[in-house]
Structure 1
Amino acid sequence: MSEPPPSDPKRFYTGWLLDPGDREALLRRFPPRYPEVVAHHVTLKFGDRAAVPPINTTGEVIGQADDGLGVEALVVRIAGSTDRPDGSTYHITWSLAPGREARESNAVIASLGWTGLPQPVPIRLLARPFGD
């Protein structure tokens, strides 16, 4: 009897889930523009089952990005920085149009930038691994 194949490591993330109460408040404050509402997590690292979960449990939503074609994201600052260790930007994929994927948020932020909010919005984050 053989072992089942390992799950796809790229579907495994380490980072932060949004606190459920804060998620609901953010959804009211920033109504999703596209029909698929994601609003789930902030990624620290993906594809590494050995990654250590982060220690921070708070962050701030400080900006928004939208390509106008179906990818909307909220930019997040954690421990004073928006810079993820892999060189991308901490964010929450907020909403998507049909055919678009959450991973596209990184490219939208990198190529188009983001618009800052007048005031940061504090959020609680649940540090943990998640995925398959």
Structure 2
Amino acid sequence: MADPTSFFTGWLVEPEHRAALLEKFPPRYATIVAHHVTLKFGDATAEPPAGVSAEIVGQADDGAGVQAMVVRIDGAISRPDGGTFHITWSLDPGREARESNDVIAARGWTPIEPATPVRLTPKP
């Protein structure tokens, strides 16, 4: 099976920061993801993005196995493709990270105040 991270351009949650974020925002579902923020999906030739200022500003949860954190990147929450910058946080078995996009689009998200900084590094 191909590495699932090879299909996106974006940023990785810094591993040393991830544990603190998971403590602050406990995962609701069995599979913890909390791995990355997508800028562009499906273009293996896309240029890696620059470093950014990022913060968690909201949460989306469908109550049925998909939890995601909405992220503001350099002041914006909207991706160039019209989606919302987010980190898939946790999933129930049988659910997939890509479903976070659908949950946010269909149900919206709840603001988290104050915003919480998240350290991201460009995915190589």
TM above 0.5 = yes
Which structure has the larger Rg over C-alpha atoms?
1
Paired with 1:69 and 1:46, the residues of 2 have a C-alpha distance of 25
Structure 1, unmatched stretches of 5+, are: 1-6
CA 1:69–1:48 in structure 2 vs 1: closer, same or farther (change >3 Å)? Answer: same
Contact 2:6/2:44 (<8 A) preserved? no
**2:27 pairs with one of 3, 28, 32:** 32
Question: C-alpha displacement at 1:94, in angstroms?
Answer: 0.2
Contact 2:55/2:117 (<8 A) preserved? yes
Question: C-alpha displacement at 1:8, in angstroms?
Answer: 8.9
**1:22 pairs with one of 14, 17, 23:** 17
Paired with 2:47 and 2:77, the residues of 1 have a C-alpha distance of 19
Report SS of the residue matched to 1:116. strand
TM-score (norm: length of structure 1): 0.88
Report SS of the residue matched to 2:119. strand
Report SS of the residue matched to 1:93. strand
Identity of aligned residues (%): 62
| Aligned amino acid, residue 85 of structure 1 | P
Report SS of the residue matched to 2:118. strand
TM-score (norm: length of structure 2): 0.93
